[in-house]
Amino acid sequence: METTNQRPNLLWGALVGVTFTPLLIALFYIGERFASLPFLPLNFFDWIARNLPGELITFGIDTMVDLLIATGFGENLDSAAKTAERLMGLGLFFGIGVVSTAIFFLILNQIDWRKVSYIPGISYGLIFGAVIMLLAIPLSFASPVSPAMKVLWSSILFVGFGAAVGWAYNQLAFPAVAIKPKTGDVEPQGIDRREFIVRVGGASATLTVVGAGLGALLGGEVGEGSPTNSGGENIAAANTSELPNAHSDVIPAPGTRPELTPVADHYRIDILSGGLPSIPEDWTLPITGLVANEADWSLEELMDMPSQSEYLTMSCISNRIAGSLISTTKWTGVSFKEILERVEPSEEAMAVKIVGYDDFDEYVDLELLRNDDRIMLAYHFDDQPLPLRNGFPLRIHIPNRYGMKQPKWIRSIEFVDAWEPGYWVRRSWSRDAIVNATSVIDTVATDDVYSDDDGQMFVPMGGIAWAGDRAITAVEVKIDDGDWVAAEIREPLSGRAWSIWRYDWAFEEGNHTVQVRTYEADPEGQSDPVLQPTETRGTRPDGATGIHSSIFSAIVPEEEEGEAEALEG
């Protein structure tokens, strides 16, 4: 006798997807934590990010970042952006798991399957998995295991996922029935659909939470904490008394950012939403293409070449005015001139193509490399190997350009016969990415009001000004409707590091607005200093410009009374 049972519809399929996709994600996560296996859900997101229109992704991330910051989760813009990317990546993978499972149910409903086998479920897992693997495994740079191992592990998980979905379909479509001995009526036995989903969902949720929790607690850190990431700890206590400008008489106002960014706090921006790339232990730098002498140097060989060091400020082109995607540290490396002398580019060579271990690529004009011996292949931040997050073992520095022009994790350098747009240029960001002059208010130190001998009270304020490799010649501030007045400028760490400014404002009780602007030296040294671009412009495509302002209220400090009382008592 036939049951009149209806097949589970789309919605049941979606529910089963909701049930099992998180478990699939959790298993990928556990594999990553414990065995450095690929975390395909995020690698898949990276594929999407690389292949969808850049605007869409940027918009999505910007929106998420705003949300994270508004809700207090985003302390640093760069880590907020990474968190946003990861949440989007997991959400997307989850959504695809749900939708494709629903579609799988629809398809099965068209076919007269009986409770025959797991073949449909396993096939579904294989097809779903094949698509994800095809797109995501080529981007699983963080996982050092062999491609065969990546395919094997991922296949096991996807087949398991498909089998679980197929099993759930069978349970929902053909519940166990009992035929009543006397009447011959068919009666469903055991649990109904709702109960089934609740039970299976509960079990899956428990496994997911326990598994992910264990992975987070016990698993080794992938990428972020690898042995090559040695820089951070050593530098946190950088000895600022030995800085080249230690004797400068302009003391930063309280609350100004550190002049030298601790390496562990250096901002991080890259196109990997998951782990950091895995760098081979026997890394060498292949230099190929239009050169007389191809080369393949080890890091030691590069470090044996004449080196140069400089304090450098680097900023992301997507740093908003007063954003946190800007840092200053001491870079050490070998001038690209040294490389050119050794490899001897041929006549036809016009540019070099630099590719990173994340497949990020950027082209640099050979003429620029020839004319600017400050361009370097850098291997140290603050006298220590580059942290993995900032480009270990080697990255390039090109003065006066935003970070998008400075590839990390260099895998190869090739001399080619034509310049081409690199990764971000192809996504309609600036071709040259020349740094705009900007100035920022870090602090209005209303808690550090002090009085001079005449009893005049002052509020120290300060921040940074930076114009790439162009010198900062002046900084001016304007309080409310007052005139623009000159701030003091501290001698910078170098001609390519930000300048710290300070202004001590004669205290006036009330609410106020302060604005800041800077001047850069004329590059040719011919004319007067040039005012920074004051027009408010967003980051895309050429980097943000505009005047930074800050609102503050000045209240007569009460401490003096308090202190006096304390002394009496």
Binding residues for ligand MTE (CB under 6 A): 266-271, 316, 356, 358, 360, 390-391, 403-404, 406-409
Minimum distance, C-beta of residue 427 to ligand MTE, in the bound complex (Å): 11
443 interacts with, out of Mo ion, ligand MTE, none, CB within 5 to 8 A per kind: none
Minimum distance, C-beta of residue 269 to ligand MTE, in the bound complex (Å): 4
Q: Which residues bind Mo ion (CB under 5 A)?
A: 269, 316, 403-404
C-beta of 212 vs 433, nearer to Mo ion: 433
C-beta of 74 vs 407, nearer to ligand MTE: 407
All residues at 6 or more sequence positions from 542 whose CB lies less than 8 Å from its CB, including other chains: 317, 430, 433, 436
12 interacts with, out of Mo ion, ligand MTE, none, CB within 5 to 8 A per kind: none
Minimum distance, C-beta of residue 268 to ligand MTE, in the bound complex (Å): 4
Minimum distance, C-beta of residue 406 to ligand MTE, in the bound complex (Å): 5
Read off φ and ψ for residue 40, nearest 5 degrees: -60, -30
Minimum distance, C-beta of residue 375 to ligand MTE, in the bound complex (Å): 15
Classify each residue of 540-565 as buried b or exposed e, where b means 16 or more C-beta atoms within 10 Å of its C-beta: bebbbbbbbebebebeebeeeeeeee
390 interacts with, out of ligand MTE, Mo ion, none, CB within 5 to 8 A per kind: ligand MTE
C-beta of 259 vs 358, nearer to ligand MTE: 358
Minimum distance, C-beta of residue 316 to Mo ion, in the bound complex (Å): 3
d(CA 143, CA 153): 12
Minimum distance, C-beta of residue 317 to Mo ion, in the bound complex (Å): 5
Q: The tokens of 380 are what?
A: 């140290």
Classify each residue of 95-129 as buried b or exposed e, where b means 16 or more C-beta atoms within 10 Å of its C-beta: ebbbebbbbbbeebbeeebeeeebebbbebbeebb
289 interacts with, out of Mo ion, ligand MTE, none, CB within 5 to 8 A per kind: none
Minimum distance, C-beta of residue 470 to ligand MTE, in the bound complex (Å): 19
C-beta of 76 vs 288, nearer to Mo ion: 76
Count of C-beta atoms within a 10 Å radius of residue 258: 13
d(CA 96, CA 94): 5
Minimum distance, C-beta of residue 536 to ligand MTE, in the bound complex (Å): 22
d(CA 470, CA 493): 14
**Closest-CB residue for ligand MTE?**
403
- Among 518, 507, 437, 438, smallest CA distance to 476 is for 518
267 interacts with, out of Mo ion, ligand MTE, none, CB within 5 to 8 A per kind: ligand MTE
- Among 343, 273, 264, smallest CA distance to 301 is for 343
d(CA 124, CA 146): 25
C-beta of 8 vs 391, nearer to ligand MTE: 391
> 355 in helix, strand or coil?
strand
All residues at 6 or more sequence positions from 439 whose CB lies less than 8 Å from its CB, including other chains: 463, 464, 465, 466, 475, 501, 516, 517, 518, 532, 548
408 interacts with, out of ligand MTE, Mo ion, none, CB within 5 to 8 A per kind: ligand MTE
| H or E segment and range at residue 284 | strand 284-289
C-beta of 121 vs 468, nearer to Mo ion: 468
Q: Are 39 and 216 in contact (CB under 8 A)?
A: no
Read off φ and ψ for residue 86, nearest 5 degrees: -65, -45
C-beta of 79 vs 245, nearer to ligand MTE: 79
501 interacts with, out of Mo ion, ligand MTE, none, CB within 5 to 8 A per kind: none
Instruction: Using the structure block, give the residue that is written with the tokens 């202190």.
Output: 563
Q: Are 512 and 552 in contact (CB under 8 A)?
A: yes
Q: The tokens of 2 are what?
A: 């036939």
C-beta of 272 vs 554, nearer to ligand MTE: 272
271 interacts with, out of ligand MTE, Mo ion, none, CB within 5 to 8 A per kind: ligand MTE
C-beta of 259 vs 362, nearer to Mo ion: 362
- DSSP strand E in 97-250: where? 177-179, 186-188
C-beta of 101 vs 228, nearer to ligand MTE: 228
517 interacts with, out of ligand MTE, Mo ion, none, CB within 5 to 8 A per kind: none
Minimum distance, C-beta of residue 403 to Mo ion, in the bound complex (Å): 4
266 interacts with, out of Mo ion, ligand MTE, none, CB within 5 to 8 A per kind: ligand MTE
